[in-house]
Amino acid sequence: MLSLGETPICDSIPELRENAMNDATNITRDAHAQGLRAYGEAGRTREQAIGNRGPLLLGEDGKLDPEILSRFREQGYYIFEGVIDPDEIAELRADALEMIHRAPVSPDAKVDAQGRPALGLDYPRIPYRLAKPLADPWGGTEILGGRHPTQMAQPTPDADAPEYVVFLMYSMCRSMPSGLRLYGHPGLLGVAGSINGDDFVPFNDAIFVKQPGLGGSVSWHQDGVTHWGSPDWDPGIHGFNFQVQLFPSTLGNCLWVVPGSHALGKIDIKALVAENGGSERLPDAVPLVCEAGDVTIVNRQMLHGSFANSSPDMRISLTFGFHRRSSVLGAQAALAMEGDNVHYDERRIFERSAVIQVAIDARHQERPDEPMFKYRPFKGLEEEFRFNDASFDSVIKDYFIKDLAI
């Protein structure tokens, strides 16, 4: 039975620190993969019984099908199947893989594996987080305010593994032309408006990279920082995240969630794992197995995580989230880089939300025959926020240091 805690967490993204391997889980990559198989199959049976997956259905009013919305609110997740077409997936893959190839070879390096200047040296913040292969760089540490209190198993990587691998990438809308266009996807924005209201606002974006036999884990956690003790708290107050899958997400590399946990408040994760005999394989969790082009939606308050990718399968998940405007306006920023006294006012929300409007136009320029989403906060301002060189410089270039994290 999930138990509740009281201590709020920090959702900031500081520099990753090198994390030593956990001697208590000194197992090989193959042994780790084999050990997860039975658990994975049992989890998939549980997920199939819930059945929260299917096509993304919007009504004539542009709103999400009420049955899907109800099931999402009940379980805290849904898998939209076949949302992104193969041509767009090919563009997104090419741009994401180029970002990976342009990553610095180590946390302090200025060059990529080919000796070229790494991408992002001129950005306001380096758009990469690196980690040791198959490591859990956050679990059991005070990083991110200690929101990952337990550590996943950290298998021993193969002898030929590199010293560091890409763990996370940022700046999707600046570094990936296809990523900016994806941000303006009318179906996904329709879902955001259905859940968070027509005046919804953005959170952030991050690209999770789990290379075959190398990708690290993200231990069990809940997102959200500012509203756990709010008198207006409800299960949707911290928003949600989409994940667009560029490759099939398999039992060996996918995201796992605990259905319904978004409605339980702040969970004592350490006690929960202890009650499970110290095992990270929580009995109620389900795997979000997907095909390329599927899009998951997960409530940010849901208990979720992923195991080290000891499998032979690549996973790249483009992750971006949205909030209710009422949850963000006046809230205190939860990004450590901004200090303790930054509050989200109308101007800050407008500046970050402008990325959505520019992305809508960028997508329309590429796909003029596709329906164009109408974003209510920018009604009447569309001409001022077309995608061009000027808007790239003023809106897109440094957008990811203006995220609205709550």
C-beta of residue 345 within 8 angstroms of C-beta of residue 330: yes
Q: pLDDT tens for residues 313-351?
A: 999 999 999 999 999 999 988 865 555 578 899 999 999
Question: What's the pLDDT at 337?
Answer: 54
Which 8-state DSSP code applies to residue 396? I
**Euclidean distance between the first and final Cα of the chain, in Å?**
27
Q: Starting at the edge strand that comes first in sequence, how are the strands of the sheet with 304-306 ordered?
A: 218-221, 304-306, 256-257, 286-287
Which 8-state DSSP code applies to residue 311? S
pLDDT at 65 over 90: yes
Cα 88 to Cα 51: distance, rounded to the nearest angstrom: 27
Q: pLDDT tens for residues 243-270?
A: 999 999 999 999 999 999 999 999 999 9
- Beta-bridge partners for 117: 111
pTM of the model: 0.91
Beta 53-54 vs 77-80: how paired, if at all? parallel
Which 8-state DSSP code applies to residue 65? P
- Beta-bridge partners for 242: 297, 320
pLDDT band, very low/low/confident/very high, at 218 (cuts 50, 70, 90): very high
Angle in degrees, CA 114, 116, 121, rounded to 5:
135
Question: What's the pLDDT at 25?
Answer: 54
Could you please report the per-residue DSSP string of 337-376? GG-S--B--HHHHHHHHHHHHHHHHHHHHH-TTS-----G
Question: What's the pLDDT at 6?
Answer: 29
Which domains, ranges and CATH numbers included, belong to the chain?
A: 23-401 (2.60.120.620)
Q: pLDDT tens for residues 223-247?
A: 988 999 999 999 999 999 999 999 9
pLDDT band, very low/low/confident/very high, at 18 (cuts 50, 70, 90): very low
Query: Quick one: average pLDDT of 284-290?
Result: 98
